[in-house]
Each structure stands twice: as C-alpha cells, then as structure tokens.
Amino acid sequence: MSRVIIIGAGGVGNVVAKKCAQNDQVFSEVLIATRTVSKADRIVTQIHQHLPGSKTTFTTTSVDADHVPALVELFNSFKPELVINVALPYQDLTIMDACLECGVHYLDTANYEPLDVAKFEYSWQWAYRERFEKAGLMALLGCGFDPGATGVFTAHHAKHHFAEIHSLDIIDCNNGDHGKAFATNFNPEINIREITAKGRYYENGEWIETEPLAISQDIYYPKVATRKSFVLYHEELESLVLNFPTIKRARFWMTFGESYIKHLNVLEGVGMTSIVPIDFRGLKVAPIEFLKAVLPVPESLAENYTGQTCIGVQAKGIGHDGNEKVHFVYNVCDHAETYREVQAQGVSYTTGVPAMIGAALMLTGVWKKAGVYNVEEFDPDPFIAAMNTWGLKVEELAGIELVKD
C-alpha cells in the first residue's frame, strides 16, 4: 500500500487517478495536485460516484509545479513514495529537483522541453542519472503510450522475437471523431509544437531531418482503417536507438485528416502557432498560448467521441532462428468504451493507463532500480501482462509488413 502524488488534473490525470482507484491493492492514498483545484475535485467526485467500492483515499490541493520550493513543501507535507508527473513537459525538471530534495521516486509520460524552444530531447533528464542513483531513487521517463508502451513493445520484440532488430516503425492512428472543426487530443500547445516541428528519423547512425509532414504513406491499422500517415520526430526514437543498437532505421508515423492539416496550415500561416511572444495591448503573449485558450480542452471531447485508436510497433530483422522476419505488436482502444469506464477519450486513456502500470510496477518492486531510466530498459513481460489486465489489450500480428520501406 503506497502514498502517491499525481501532479496534473487534465485528461491524462483523470485516467491515472481513476485507474489508481481501481488498483486499490497498490495505491492506498493519492493526492491530486494541480493549479486549478476544481478540476481535481471533479475527478474525486467522479471516483466516488463510479467507483464507490475503491479503498483508495483521495485528497486534492493546489500547487504551482514551476517552483521547486512549492513542490518541496507539498512533498514534505504529504510524504509520498512516488510522484506521477502528468503536468506539462516544461515542469519535468522542477519536479525532478523536488523529488531529489525530498527523497521521492519519480515517473512522467513525456520528456522535458523548454518553454521558449520548440525542442524536446532526453539530454536534460538523463543528466539527472547520477544524482538519482546516489540518492537511491528511481526516475522512470516517458511511461505513457508513445512514449511508454511503444518502448515496452520494442523490448518485447527483442526478448521474444528477434536476435537483431534492424528497422523499427512506430505507428499511431486516431481514427476517432469528436465532432469539432478543429481540436487537439492532448494539450494543444504541446501537440501543435510537436506537429509543426521538422520531422526526423534515424538511419544508419544519423538523424535525417525533413520538413514537417513531408514524408507520408498509407498504412493499414489492424481492426481500424487504412490511413495516410506522416513521419514525425518523437522522443522515444532517441532512447530506443541507444538501447537497441542493432537498429539501423527508426521512424515514427502518425495519422492526420485533411481537415486537421488545412486548419493547422492556416493557423501556422497567420502566425497563430508561434511560440515567440508578441506585444498585445501592453502584454507579452505567445500566439500559441492564446490559441490554446480558445481551443476545446482535450477532456471536453470525451463524451461524444466515437471510433478507435490503434498504436503499435513494427519490427523487422533477424529472428532467433536466424531467418528474416517482420512482426507487429499493437493495441486498439475505443473512445466510447473509455468514456463509459473512466469518462475520458481514448488518447487520454492510452497515456494514463500505462502511467498507472509503471507506477504500480515501481511501487511493488517489480521495476525498481536507482537511477534514471526509460521503460524499454526493464523486463516487458509484467508491463504487457498488466496492460491486458487494466484495459489495454495487447495483440500481435506476424509476417505482414504494414509499413513499407
């Protein structure tokens, strides 16, 4: 039984909290900390309504995760064993600093990126390795779905199917419909920064940079649809090519509809996606921050969302029998089903469930080692078993090449 702080009460925080309530044999006390306490209070109210039998106790409080002293005061007061960070990626380092000062383990779902630079990489967080190791603390990075489950799927490929992985393709399809003209499925600011950045993939020891959404192909997503998919840069590629050095090429693909791209092109063309502050009536405002304020919040999309997501990892290489092979590991998640279960849409669900699973594995000692780690550095079997238990069924497809060279 463990005391945990969840920082963040958006769509993902909602799922993490409710999954902790379901897994009450591990999570005994949970504090949800966020800037807007009313959002955390709403989550707790829904837990009491929909999960009245849960033995997990919940409390809420406000915190500004930009400031280490505020976090330290909170951690010293509640004395958690673990902090689950589902706040903004800008706040990863302040939360890690506070964990070190207070002797608390750490988990997040997305790597750090500076507020004023549209760039994300693990170097800032990997720099904490020695400090966490010396403190006897563990930090688990990128424990959502992508990154997160995609790293676990890659480790599963390496353990059970391949002597050498030569090419890796992570594919992410949201074939859902939320009925809005334009909306993002997670934090709009982070989502738009990611999509409008230059694409990047790994090949033969080098990173190849492309213009945004310049490379595409039609990909069949099992049980869902065939969708046009685009190469983006995604953070898990950085760790996977290091932890699986036989990989010669690694790419990340994501689907976008024509309407979404048209809206995004217009917004970018008139400067609304810029992160550079402008002077507006005497105030310094980044246009993307204003855009975020007028777009629907991701959790508001959940009630009327229909359709499915399909996210998986295709590996090609040499099997344990010495022959060439291709194998695909994936999950299909239904938006309407996740709303019925935890009042969330599928994108929040597929991120929040792995975060709870990673936390549970750390708290029970299954994944426990001092230092800073990515998920693929641990045994994938207990994680995949837990995905099957907690609502994300893992499926496999052998011998069919979904992503072409």
Taking alpha carbons only, the member of 124, 155, 154, 157 closest to residue 139 is: 124
User: From CA 22, how far away is CA 9, in angstroms rounded?
Assistant: 17
pLDDT value, residue 264: 76
Largest CA distance in the chain: 68
pTM given for the model: 0.94
**Kind of pairing between the strands at 324-334 and 308-319:** antiparallel
Quick one: tokens of 280? 């507006």
Task: Please answer whether residues 264 and 195 qualify as being in contact, where contact means their C-beta atoms are separated by less than 8 angstroms.
Answer: yes
Q: Running along the chain, 405 residues long, what does each successive block of 10 average in pLDDT?
A: 93 97 98 97 97 97 97 98 95 98 97 74 95 98 97 98 98 88 68 81 97 94 96 95 98 88 77 82 81 77 88 98 97 97 96 98 98 98 98 97 95
pLDDT score of 116: 66
Q: Find tokens 């959404």 and name the residue.
A: 213
243 exposure class (CB count in 10 Å sphere: 0-12, 13-18, 19+):
middle
Range 149-341+393-398 classified under CATH 3.40.50.300: no
**What does the DSSP 8-state code read for residue 60?**
E
pLDDT attached to residue 368: 96
Please tell me the CATH superfamily of domain 2-141, with its number: NAD(P)-binding Rossmann-like Domain (3.40.50.720)
Report which of 25, 44, 27 is spatially closest to residue 343, judged by C-alpha positions.
44
CA-to-CA distance for 55 and 57, rounded, in angstroms? 6
pLDDT computed for residue 387 by the predictor: 98
User: How far apart, in whole angstroms, are the C-alpha atoms of residue 239 and residue 344?
Assistant: 29
- Return the number of other C-beta atoms located less than 10 Å from residue 394's C-beta: 18
Query: For 198, which DSSP code?
Result: P
Distance of CA 280 to the CA centre of its chain: 33
Buried/exposed 77-93: b ≥16 CB within 10 Å, e otherwise: ebebbbbbbbbbbbbbb
The CA–CA distances, whole Å, from 47 to 6, 18, 21, 71, 341 equal 15, 6, 7, 25, 11
Instruction: For CA atoms 392, 393, 399, 402, give the dihedral sign.
Output: negative
Q: What is the DSSP string of 19-55?
A: HHHHTTTTEEEEEEEES-HHHHHHHHHHHHHH-TT--
Q: How far apart are CA 394 and CA 141, in angstroms?
A: 21
DSSP assignment of 270-315 equals: TTTT--S-EEETTEEE-HHHHHHHHSPPGGGGGGG-BSEEEEEEEE
Q: Where are the domains of the chain?
A: 2-141, 149-341+393-398
Q: What is the separation of C-alpha 389 from the centre of its chain, rounded to a whole number of angstroms? A: 19
